[in-house]
Amino acid sequence: MSVINKMLQDLDSRQVGDDSNATGLAGIHATAAVEMESENGLRLWLIALGGTFIIVAVSLAVLWWYGSRPVQRWEQVPPRYFQREFQLAATAAPTASAPVPALAPALTLAVPAVSPMRQPAAAPAVSPASAVAASATVGAHARDDEEISASGGPVATPRVLSAREQEAILQAKRVRALTPQEQAENAYRQAVQALQHSNATAAETLLRQALQLDAGHLLARQALVALLVDARRLSEAEQVSRAGLSGSDPAGFAMILARLQLERKDRSAALATLRQYYSAGQSRAEYEAFYAALLQEDGQHGEAARHYRMALQQQPQQGVWWMGLGLALKADGNLAEARSAFTQALQSNSLTPALTAFVQQQLAP
């Protein structure tokens, strides 16, 4: 086409004016127009052909790209997979639950030497069946995922458990029944509260219940004995005290039983009780002094003085015991030692005015 244009430009520059030349020029122009139309048609055909080629190439590339990816076929996934996914979707919506009432707090009393009661951990009121069902559901989902993975199919993403389901599973693991010792402690504390409200009948019932649950509950037994003594039910108090002799504090209940036996004027029984459990109580100054006083009343002054001295080795500031030692030594004929003991009693500054006057009389010439 550029050659034709150049030719036309040359012819136009010559400015040929004759007719023959004009006719020839007109023919040349006509021929050039035909050639130009023919060339334009070829260009359009080439453009269309190129566009078609590009479309075909892009289509082939897209088909090749999709063909190279692994195609997940429906038959490759077990039918139960879709069934389980449907169940998960159906149960995923949160359900409204009734508010769980707060558990009542543990009874707090100013009871010495009693540690606070351990209460079970508070948890939402979820039935054990719900907890087991939640655990089974989680286990079933995990097994399904393992089976699907082993078969080569896709592994489902585990469903996130709701807070209620998680708490139900935890509750099933940690909730336990109260031990008999814990139940006894609760009953004892309730009895103390009943006593504070002057309800002796309810307190006695609760204390007996505590001892049925835990026969070794020391404070419950002591409280029951005190309650029975206040009611002047001394025979029952003795029975409860005897049952405590086989517990963790035989020496303490031996002294309580001996006092009850003295209350009914049975000194020999009281002495026998203290003598029987002396090996358990000899490390206690109170036990030694109590035993010495009974021996002194029974006329065994030398033995009484020995036990008074053993008690005073542990608690030398007890003026009453010094006075008892002085009386035992005086009755046994040891007057010099008796005066020394009476002097120690006065120097302890622990005697009542009446006892102080009595000791001063013993020291008078």
The residue segments making up the domain with residue 354 are: 285-365
Residues contacting residue 198 through CB under 8 Å, at least 6 positions apart: none
Kindly state whether residue 144 falls inside one of the protein's structural domains: no
Q: What is the CATH number of the domain that holds 318?
A: 1.25.40.10
> Using an 8 Å Cβ cutoff, are 131 and 173 in contact?
no
Look at residue 62 and tell me whether its pLDDT is greater than 80: no
Comparison of pLDDT for 334 and 150, the residue scoring more = 334
For residue 35, name the pLDDT band (cuts at 50, 70, 90).
Answer: low
In percent, how much of the chain has pLDDT > 90?
51
For 296, residues 6+ apart whose C-beta sits below 8 A from its C-beta are 304, 324, 327, 328, 331
Model confidence band, residue 66 (pLDDT cutoffs 50, 70, 90): low
pLDDT at 159: 74
178 close to 119: Cβ distance less than 8 angstroms: no
Query: Is pLDDT larger for residue 59 or for residue 289?
Result: 289
CA distance 207 to 184: 8
E strand or H helix at 179: none
Kindly report, residue by residue over 104-120, the tens digit of the pLDDT.
333 223 333 344 444 44
Do 357 and 326 contact (CB within 8 A), yes or no? Answer: no
- Averaged over 64-75, what is the pLDDT? 47
What is the rounded distance in angstroms from the CA atom of residue 225 to the CA atom of residue 237?
A: 5
**In this structure, is residue 333 part of a structural domain?**
yes
123 lies in some domain? no
Q: Which two tokens stand for residue 66?
A: 């999709």
> How many structural domains comprise the chain?
1
pLDDT at residue 126 is higher than 60: no
Is 310 contained in some domain?
yes
The position carrying tokens 């505590």 is 210
**What is the CB-side half-sphere exposure of residue 3 using CA atoms within 13 A?**
2
What number of H helices and E strands is found in the chain?
17, 0
Coil, strand or helix at 162: coil
- In this structure, of 85-89, 200-204, 296-300, 315-319, the range with the lowest mean pLDDT score is 85-89
- The verdict on residue 116 lying in a domain is no
Query: How far, in Å, CA of 308 to CA of 330, rounded?
Result: 13
175 or 311, higher pLDDT: 311
Q: Which amino acid is at 6?
A: K
Residues whose CB falls within 8 Å of the CB of residue 95, separated by 6 or more in sequence, listed in order: none
More confident residue, 28 or 162: 162
> Quick check: is 289 in a domain?
yes
302-335 residues labelled b (16+ CB within 10 A) or e (exposed): ebbbebbbbbbeeeeebbbbbbbbbbbbbebebe
Assess whether pLDDT exceeds 80 at residue 47: no
Cβ neighbours for 288, distance < 8 A, ≥ 6 positions apart: 281, 282, 307, 308, 310, 311, 314
- Is residue 127 in a domain? no
- Is residue 344 packed enough to be buried (19+ CB in 10 Å), middle (13-18) or exposed (0-12)? buried
Q: For residue range 207-249, what is the model confidence (pLDDT) as tens digits?
A: 999 999 999 999 999 999 999 999 999 999 999 999 999 999 9
Residue 173 falls inside a structural domain: no
